[in-house]
Amino acid sequence: MPARFVYWMNVSLDLLIERDRGDHSGLEGPDWLHIDGPLHREFNDRARAMTMFVEGRVVRDMMDPFWPDARDDDSLPEWFREFGHIWTDIPKVLVSRTRERADHHTRVIGGDDAIAQLATLRQESEGDIAVGGATLATQLLAAGLVDELLLYTHPAVLGSGRPLFDEPVPEPLLLDLLEQRAFDNGVTLHRYAVRGATA
């Protein structure tokens, strides 16, 4: 059975992923994100269960060097340090036209056939593979390769900003609810299977 691509994202109630460019840079992030210790431990558990991360260049630049450095930074909470170890140790794929190499168990793919390479990777791998980055997820969705949405919805309406996908879906995207959960800080988890994903 092939692996499954899981698009994992924090979103607002109106399905925006950032209000302003660079919202997610830095330790604190934007005010509309409600990420506390219990929620971050949930992230850690989800990340630990993935077999691989696939990231676009923008996401990768946010992750590295912050998370590798976080592993041994005693000024950070324990759950930050833990995620640093998880992210650093898990196999990763960086999709980039400009990078040729990357550290921390990372394979780099690029070029005009990057999505075809990811389709082959999905077919030859197992388990759940986390997809990070709206540009990459949009391209995978267009190719029928997004199997699941893992959305953490934060109690905020941004009004304008970057949507969950960079392009409108050409047809209604039909989903099956697999899991939902509410956290004490007002965030809700909705996990959906995407109907019609390419086998």
Q: Which residues contact 165 (CB under 8 A, 6 or more apart)?
A: 134, 137, 138, 141
CATH number for the domain including 93?
A: 3.40.430.10
Residue 26, pLDDT > 60, answer: no
Contact yes or no for 104/23 (Cβ under 8 A) = no
Does residue 183 form part of some domain? yes
> What's the alpha-carbon Rg for the chain, to the nearest Å?
16
The residue with greater pLDDT, 1 or 24, is 1
d(C-alpha 14, C-alpha 34), whole Å: 16
d(C-alpha 124, C-alpha 119), whole Å: 9
pLDDT tens string 130-178? 999 999 999 999 999 999 999 999 999 999 999 999 999 988 999 999 9
Please state the domain count of the chain: 1
Give the pLDDT of residue 25.
Answer: 57
Does residue 21 form part of some domain? yes
pLDDT band at 6 (very low <50, low <70, confident <90, very high): very high
Q: Which residues contact 11 (CB under 8 A, 6 or more apart)?
A: 17, 151, 152, 153, 154, 164
Does residue 150 form part of some domain? yes
Residue 108: beta bridge partners?
94
Does residue 42 form part of some domain? yes
Does residue 56 form part of some domain? yes
Where do runs of H (alpha helix) occur along 76-196?
78-89, 114-124, 134-142
pLDDT tens string 173-199? 999 999 999 999 999 999 999 999 987
Residue 95, pLDDT > 80, answer: yes
For the entire predicted model, the pTM comes to 0.95
Domain of 37, in residue numbers: 4-194
Give the pLDDT of residue 199.
Answer: 76
Does residue 199 form part of some domain? no
d(C-alpha 138, C-alpha 146), whole Å: 9
Give the pLDDT of residue 29.
Answer: 76
Half-sphere exposure of 163 (CA within 13 A, CB side): 7
d(C-alpha 136, C-alpha 153), whole Å: 20
Give the pLDDT of residue 28.
Answer: 60
pLDDT tens string 56-90? 999 999 999 999 999 999 999 999 999 999 999 99
Does residue 98 form part of some domain? yes
Q: Which residues contact 120 (CB under 8 A, 6 or more apart)?
A: none
What average pLDDT is seen over the chain?
94
Where do runs of H (alpha helix) occur along the chain?
37-49, 57-63, 66-70, 78-89, 114-124, 134-142
Give the Cβ contact number of residue 71 at 10 Å. 17
Q: What is the mean pLDDT of residues 115-134?
A: 97
Closest CA to 150 of 128, 171, 169: 128
Does residue 166 form part of some domain? yes
Residue 17, pLDDT > 70, answer: yes
Residue 108, pLDDT > 60, answer: yes
pLDDT tens string 33-59? 999 999 999 999 999 999 999 999 999
